[in-house]
Amino acid sequence: MTTNGHTNGGTPLPMTKKDFSSDQETRWCPGCGDYAILATVQSLMPELGVPPERTVFVTGIGCAGRFVYYMDTYGMHGIHGRAPALATGLAVSRPDLSVWVVTGDGDSLSIGGNHLIHALRRNVPVKILLFNNQIYGLTKGQYSPTSEQGKVTKSTPFGSQDHPFNPLALALGAEATFVARAVDTDRNHVAEVLRAAAEHQGTAFVEIYQNCNVFNDGAFDALREKESRKHNMIMLEAGKPIRFGEENERGVVHRPDGSLEIVDVADVGEDALVVHDPEHRDPSLAFALAHLAERPTGPTPVGVFRSVARPAYAEGLHEELEEARESVGDEELAELLGGGDSWTVPST
């Protein structure tokens, strides 16, 4: 049991949400989806068994960047897009820490795209939470790399020209070993996905659809509104046929070309449905699922798309280096400096 250091007559008290909540006033806009995610993370942390002083949050710039100030852990609010690089330096040199990156769609997919893909391919032991609101919030409403093409914003009064990124497909293309998606207000499901992410050895990439009620309100209504979510939320569960709908009446099947299609279960029979397998080495199914909904406006899969084991970046190196370091001192240093060919000039 992890405790908060306080005791009750000799028995350590278990940690609570309070142990992970800082005293700083939360300054997101009222109604922002970030509040729900923050509350979920603060509640989840005590469960993970890592004390707050060994937990570190690293963020970039944007509304999501402020996350770090509200967690009573160690934290670094970095620079725009660079959080994965900062977190990499910390995580590899301190494998005893639990390192979390919180980022947004502009931060991680635009200015920080390079750092994100390289963290993923290296499989650095960090958890990356991408709060995707499909808009630039902190800079007051420009289109983001996940905004739909044609989006009218302050910087694109005639509609944007850019084709958007599909964050999960991008992560899978970058060889990510853990890829998942959740929706901000679905707190139990966010917690479940983050729990799985925390357990993953290596980089865990979690996209969280997050509503920006000021600049892009309603972007995820298909998955957030009580009525529509019944029809649209495709909850992925390992080992189970992929089906959804109010009565579980719809499902996902493979087309002959390998792509996926949504069908009525009654038309194809239960056995025809695709069985979800996030641990499959081949990322084809995960990739096809990432493309099942090009925009989260209709039926959209959420949950863990991929979770495969691959050695984390520089795994085991830390122990080796620490051991080496402990065995060197002045003598070894002198030996190093004098290495190679040397000669002596005698005193006369």
Partner 1 sequence: MQLAGSRFTDATAMLGNDLATLPDFPAEIRAPAGTLHGVSAFQIHFASRDILTPGDHPNVLVAMNPAALKTNLGALEKGGTIVANEDAFTDNNLRKAGYTANPLEDGSLDDYQVFRVPMTTMTVRATEGIEGIMAKDQQRTKNVFALGLLSWMYGRPTEVTVEWMEKKFASNPGIRDANLNAFRAGYNFGETAELLAVHYEVKPAPAEPGTYRNINGTSATAMGLIAASVKSGLPMVYASYPITPASELLHELSRHKRFGVRTMQAEDEIAAAGMVVGAAFGGSLGVTASSGPGLDLKAETIGLGVMLELPMVIVDVQRAGPSTGMPTKTEQGDLMLAMYGRHGESPLPIVAAYTPGQCFDAAIEAVRIAVKYRTPVILLTDTFLANSSEPWRLPDVSQIPAIDPGFATEPNGEDGAFLPYKRDENLARPWAVPGTPGLRHRIGGLEKEHETGNISYDPTNHALMSRLRAEKVAKVADEIPPLEVDHEDGAEVLVLGWGSSYGPIRAAVRRVRLKGKKVDSAHLFHLNPLPHDLGELLHSYRKVMVPEMNMGQLVRILRAEYLVDADSVTKVEGIPFFADELEAAILERIAT
Residues that bind partner 1 (CB under 8 A): 5, 22, 24, 51-54, 56-59, 61, 68-69, 71-79, 82, 84-94, 96-97, 114-115, 118, 314, 317, 320-322, 324-325, 328-330, 332-334, 336-348
Q: Which is nearer to partner 1, 237 or 320 (CB)?
A: 320
Nearest distance from C-beta of residue 343 to partner 1, angstroms: 6
Nearest distance from C-beta of residue 185 to partner 1, angstroms: 26
CA–CA distances in Å: residue 158 to residues 143, 149, 152, 153: 12, 11, 6, 8
Nearest distance from C-beta of residue 342 to partner 1, angstroms: 4
Nearest distance from C-beta of residue 98 to partner 1, angstroms: 10
Cα 44 to Cα 65: distance, rounded to the nearest angstrom? 19
Q: Which is nearer to partner 1, 268 or 317 (CB)?
A: 317
Q: Which is nearer to partner 1, 174 or 285 (CB)?
A: 174
Q: Which is nearer to partner 1, 238 or 336 (CB)?
A: 336
Cα 288 to Cα 290: distance, rounded to the nearest angstrom? 5
| Residue 201: burial class (beta carbons within 10 Å; 0-12, 13-18, 19+) | middle
Which helix (H) or strand (E) is 101 found in, with range? strand 98-104
Q: Which is nearer to partner 1, 78 or 104 (CB)?
A: 78
Nearest distance from C-beta of residue 348 to partner 1, angstroms: 7
- DSSP letter, residue 292: T
What backbone torsions phi and psi does residue 130 show, to the nearest 5 degrees? Answer: -100, 110
Yes or no: say if 131 and 65 are a contact pair by the CB < 8 Å rule: no
Written as one string, the DSSP assignment of 274-309 is PBP-TT-SSTHHHHHHHTT-SSTTSSEEEEEEEE--
Instruction: Report the candidate in 127, 92, 128 with the shortest Cα–Cα distance to residue 108.
Output: 128
Nearest distance from C-beta of residue 307 to partner 1, angstroms: 24
Nearest distance from C-beta of residue 95 to partner 1, angstroms: 10
**Which tokens sit at 60?**
């970039």
Nearest distance from C-beta of residue 85 to partner 1, angstroms: 3
Q: Which is nearer to partner 1, 85 or 193 (CB)?
A: 85
Can you tell me whether residue 18 is helix, strand or coil?
Answer: helix
Cα 85 to Cα 18: distance, rounded to the nearest angstrom? 29
Residue with tokens 């099942």: 292
User: How do beta strands 11-14 and 178-183 pair?
Assistant: unpaired
Q: Which is nearer to partner 1, 26 or 213 (CB)?
A: 26
Can you tell me whether residue 219 is helix, strand or coil?
Answer: coil
Q: Which is nearer to partner 1, 15 or 180 (CB)?
A: 15
Q: Which is nearer to partner 1, 118 or 295 (CB)?
A: 118
Q: Give residues with Cβ within 8 angstroms of 311, minimum separation 6.
A: 123, 201, 202
| Residue 267: burial class (beta carbons within 10 Å; 0-12, 13-18, 19+) | exposed
Nearest distance from C-beta of residue 322 to partner 1, angstroms: 7
